[in-house]
């Protein structure tokens, strides 16, 4: 699952569904089905878990999922279509209360709640808006309630309570609709909400500062960039001249991805099966790393990028480019821009999804000091398995910080 919207040219997993996805729709029901069935979720490992408003619920008993079912779905759709921040806040409040009740009553080994209010308010007002601050205060009150319950039950000293976000947020001043940009270059475009067959390019935007472009989507075979360059180079170069486009990633097969920047030139990110990555930049420096690196393990790759404008870019580029459903050209927006001009019920004043610092870095609060160094959000998953006394699945690419 490479983003909130994607296209699967192979259609392998999609017999019952169209082969384009937007999880900002009823497609959300397909998330559990879209995940690799060989990869266990934390809920598979802890079936007695409780989940509230979770994007992924595979492995949770249906009666332990808070925020599912037709009435809740209808309220969510109504809040989305109306772009109503108060309605989103009410959904979060309802789920937070039900979640706290379940945790107090059932004392589950693992409980997970995801609240959308901070994200929705940030999109509407920018990350410092008054509704955003109000959403943080509500979250603070819900955490305080959980802490009080855990103390009252004598569980506080042994429980782990963590607060984390799945992405940052950064203000934007302008939108540049990539679907329109591709149409202006003469191509037939497939983009949500208009998903029709017969397109030259499928434009799938997430965040809205990241976009996967699938070139010749009728071709059922995913091909390296060099195999598509003859027909598509001029288009990608034209997109890269737009002020909104910061980086273009071009997965090139065989553990390589080209990275292009409008003014800083081109380089290649390479990766190996053991997780090591390397930046080969003989003629340009699109990722601002100062030139070619040695082969770096995941920790070293984090260290060399951590203080720059694209934290963890080497590992993240390798991860997204290697995903079977990744686009043929993946665009990361310039600061101050996103890629979707229409169709958002909440007019976006802030964005996420690009490889920039403000959008990549997230807070992590833990109830007790941790021994290790948290580096990536995948580390939260690995640490949860460790805290539960369970082995981390080999498919999970995080490291425990406990």
- Closest to Zn ion by CB, 3 vs 286, is 3
What distance in Å separates the CA atoms of residue 380 and residue 323, rounded to the nearest whole number? 21
Is residue 275 within 8 A of residue 297, CB to CB? The reply is: yes
Collect all residues with Cβ–Cβ distance below 8 Å to 200 and sequence separation of at least 6: 182, 187, 188, 189, 215, 216
Is residue 121 within 8 A of residue 135, CB to CB? The reply is: yes
Q: Can residue 312 be called a binding residue for Zn ion (CB under 5 A)?
A: no
Is residue 160 within 8 A of residue 387, CB to CB? The reply is: yes
Minimum gap (Å) between residue 119 Cβ and Zn ion = 4
Minimum gap (Å) between residue 349 Cβ and Zn ion = 12
Write each residue from 265 to 304 as x if it is in contact with Zn ion (CB under 5 A), else as -, in one continuous string.
----------------------------------------
- Closest to Zn ion by CB, 169 vs 375, is 169
Is residue 277 within 8 A of residue 295, CB to CB? The reply is: yes
Is residue 7 within 8 A of residue 213, CB to CB? The reply is: no
Tell which residue, 2, 7, 42, 5, has the closest CA to residue 214: 7
- Closest to Zn ion by CB, 92 vs 119, is 119
- Closest to Zn ion by CB, 55 vs 295, is 55
Minimum gap (Å) between residue 307 Cβ and Zn ion = 26
Near Zn ion by CB under 5 A: residue from 8, 119, 176, 328 = 119
- Closest to Zn ion by CB, 119 vs 177, is 119
- Closest to Zn ion by CB, 119 vs 338, is 119
Tell which residue, 218, 216, 190, 217, has the closest CA to residue 204: 190
Minimum gap (Å) between residue 110 Cβ and Zn ion = 25
Minimum gap (Å) between residue 171 Cβ and Zn ion = 13
Q: Under the rule (CB under 5 A), what is the footprint of Zn ion?
A: 119
């Amino acid at each position: 699952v490479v983003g909130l919207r994607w296209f699967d040219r192979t259609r392998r997993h999609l017999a019952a569904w169209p082969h384009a996805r937007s999880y900002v729709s009823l497609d959300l029901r397909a998330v559990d089905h879209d995940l690799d069935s060989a990869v266990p979720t934390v809920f598979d490992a802890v079936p007695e878990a409780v989940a509230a408003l979770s994007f992924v619920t595979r492995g949770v008993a249906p009666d332990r999922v808070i925020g599912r079912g037709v009435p809740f779905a209808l309220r969510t759709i109504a809040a989305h279509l109306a772009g109503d921040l108060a309605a989103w806040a009410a959904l979060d409040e309802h789920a937070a209360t039900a979640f706290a009740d379940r945790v107090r009553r059932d004392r589950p080994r693992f409980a997970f709640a995801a609240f959308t209010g901070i994200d929705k308010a940030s999109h509407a007002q920018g990350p410092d808006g008054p509704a955003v601050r109000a959403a943080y205060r509500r979250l603070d009150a819900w955490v305080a309630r959980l802490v009080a319950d855990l103390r009252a039950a004598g569980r506080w000293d042994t429980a782990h309570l963590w607060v984390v976000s799945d992405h940052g947020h950064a203000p934007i001043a302008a939108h540049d609709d990539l679907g329109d940009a591709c149409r202006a270059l003469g191509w037939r475009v497939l983009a949500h909400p208009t998903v029709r067959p017969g397109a030259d390019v499928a434009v799938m935007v997430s965040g809205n500062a990241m976009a996967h472009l699938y070139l010749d989507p009728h071709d059922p075979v995913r091909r390296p960039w060099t195999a598509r360059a003859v027909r598509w180079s001029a288009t990608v170069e034209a997109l890269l001249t737009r002020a909104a486009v910061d980086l273009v990633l071009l997965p090139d097969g065989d553990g390589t991805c080209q990275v292009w920047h409008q003014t800083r030139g081109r380089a290649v990110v390479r990766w190996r099966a053991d997780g090591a990555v390397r930046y080969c930049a003989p003629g340009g420096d699109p990722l601002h790393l100062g030139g070619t690196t040695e082969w770096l393990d995941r920790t070293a790759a984090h260290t060399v990028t951590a203080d720059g404008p694209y934290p963890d870019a080497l590992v993240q580029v390798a991860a997204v480019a290697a995903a079977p459903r990744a686009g043929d050209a993946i665009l990361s927006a310039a600061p101050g821009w996103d890629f979707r001009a229409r169709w958002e019920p909440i007019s976006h004043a802030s964005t996420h999804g690009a490889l920039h610092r403000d959008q990549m870095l997230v807070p992590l609060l833990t109830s007790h000091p941790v021994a290790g160094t948290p580096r990536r959000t995948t580390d939260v998953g690995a640490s949860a398995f460790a805290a539960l006394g369970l082995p981390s699945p080999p498919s999970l690419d995080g490291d425990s910080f406990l």
